[in-house]
Structure 1
C-alpha cells in the first residue's frame, strides 16, 4: 500500500481535467507544476515528499471563486481518492496541509517533521508572491480574471485586505529557505500591488 505512488497516472489524469476548467486563469495546472518544481528543488528538506506532492496535486482541485469552502472540498476529495492507498495518519497530514491553504497559517500537527513539511508546502503555494515583477504582475491579472464577476471597488477592497494581511505578518514565508529566496521580493511586489489598488 505505502510503496505505490500516491498520485498514479489515472489520478493525475482525473486531477488534470479539474485543473483544466475554463474559469481558471491562475489556479490551473501550471500552478501545480510550479509547486511540484519547487518541491523537487526542496526535496532534501522534505520528510515525506510523496505526501507533499499529493497535497500539491489536490490543494486547488476544487476551485470556484464564488465559493468559500474550496479548500475543505479539495481536502475532502483527497480523503476520498487516497483512502485505502495510504495510512490514515499520513492521509490526515495531507488533509491538514490542504485545509491550511485557506488561511496559510501552520496547521496544528503533533509531529515536528510533518509541521516542517506543511510549512514548506504553504511556502511553495505562495512563492509566486516573490517572483520577479513581470511574473507577479501576470499572476495578479490572472487572479483578477478568476474574480471577473466582482465589481472593481469590491475587488480593490477585498484584494487589498488579503495583501495587507500578508504584509502584517513578521514573515510572509514560514521557512528560512523561502524567506531567504523570496521574502524581500515578495514584500516589494505586494507593497507595489497594494499601492496600485489604493490609488485606484
Structure 2
C-alpha cells in the first residue's frame, strides 16, 4: 500500500499539487480506503493497480501521463453497484476535481482529470485525445485476459451485482457486451489494439453466447 500511496503523491506533485507531502500521502491513503469498500468485488485496489500498471507501461502514448494516472485513481473513487446510469462516473469526476483542487493542483489540470474520469462511463473518446484513449484502454485491459483471468473478472462482476436477479443480470450484461462488440474498436491506441483487440472480442463473444 505504501508503494501505491507514493505513486499517488508523485502523480499529484507532477500535476502541480502544492500540498505538503504528508497531505498528499493522506489523500492517497484515503483513496485506498475507498477502493477497499466492502461492496466492491471487481472495482478494488487490484483493479486500480492493474490500470496504473498499464498506464505506466504505455505512458509514452499519452501527452500528460500524470493526469491519466490521477484519473485512474479517481475513476471509481465513488462506486455503488446499485447506482443508476453514469452516476458513479459523474460523482467520481466531481469528487476528483474537488479533491485535487484542495491539494493545490491547478484548476485546469483538476478539470482535465475530471473530464478523463467522465470518459470511463461509456469509454468513448473524441479524435486526438491520447490521454483519454490510454485511460479507457487501460480500464478495459481486463477484457483481453486469458481464460482464467477473464473468468475471475466475470465472477467478480457477478458478485458485485449479487443484488440483481439472475435473469435481469444476464439481460443487462448482454447489453454491455453487445455495446462493446459494436464499437469499431474496443481499444483506441494502435499498439494496444494490435495486442489486445482480437483476444478481447473472442472473450466477449464467448461470454455473450455462453
Please list, as runs of the form range in 1=range in 2, the aligned pairs for 1:73-112 lying within 5 A after superposition.
73-84=91-102, 85-106=104-125, 112=128
> Does the 8 Å CA contact 2:18/2:105 hold for their aligned counterparts?
no
Aligned to 2:67: 51
* Of 30, 48, 55, the match for 2:46: 30
TM-score, normalised relative to structure 1: 0.90
Say if 2:174 is the partner of 1:156. Answer: no
C-alpha distance in structure 1 between counterparts of 2:90 and 2:16, whole Å: 27
Aligned to 2:34: 18
**Unmatched runs of 5 consecutive residues or more in structure 1:** none
C-alpha distance in structure 2 between counterparts of 1:5 and 1:120, whole Å: 26
> Does the 8 Å CA contact 2:181/2:204 hold for their aligned counterparts?
yes
C-alpha distance in structure 1 between counterparts of 2:143 and 2:24, whole Å: 30
* Of 129, 133, 143, the match for 2:143: 129
CA 1:60/1:18 → structure 2, altered by over 3 Å: closer, same or farther?
Answer: same
For residues 139-177 of structure 1, the C-alpha deviation after alignment (integer angstroms, 9 at most, x for no partner) is 000000000000000000000010001111111111112
C-alpha distance in structure 2 between counterparts of 1:97 and 1:107, whole Å: 11
Tell me the SS of whatever aligns to 2:202: helix
| Cα RMSD for the two superposed structures | 1.8
Aligned to 2:25: 9
Tell me the SS of whatever aligns to 2:143: helix
CA 1:5/1:58 → structure 2, altered by over 3 Å: closer, same or farther?
Answer: farther
**Unmatched runs of 5 consecutive residues or more in structure 2:** 1-12
> Does the 8 Å CA contact 1:71/1:99 hold for their aligned counterparts?
yes
Task: Quote the offset at 1:8 in angstroms.
Answer: 2.8
For residues 7-64 of structure 1, the C-alpha deviation after alignment (integer angstroms, 9 at most, x for no partner) is 9321110000011111111001000000111111012222111111110001001100
> Does the 8 Å CA contact 2:17/2:105 hold for their aligned counterparts?
no
Task: Quote the offset at 1:124 in angstroms.
Answer: 0.3
* Stretches (4+) displaced over 4 A: 1-7
Task: Quote the offset at 1:5 in angstroms.
Answer: 8.1
* Of 175, 180, 184, the match for 1:166: 180
> Does the 8 Å CA contact 2:17/2:100 hold for their aligned counterparts?
no
C-alpha distance in structure 2 between counterparts of 1:181 and 1:31, whole Å: 20
C-alpha distance in structure 1 between counterparts of 2:194 and 2:158, whole Å: 28
Tell me the SS of whatever aligns to 1:8: helix
> Does the 8 Å CA contact 2:137/2:187 hold for their aligned counterparts?
yes
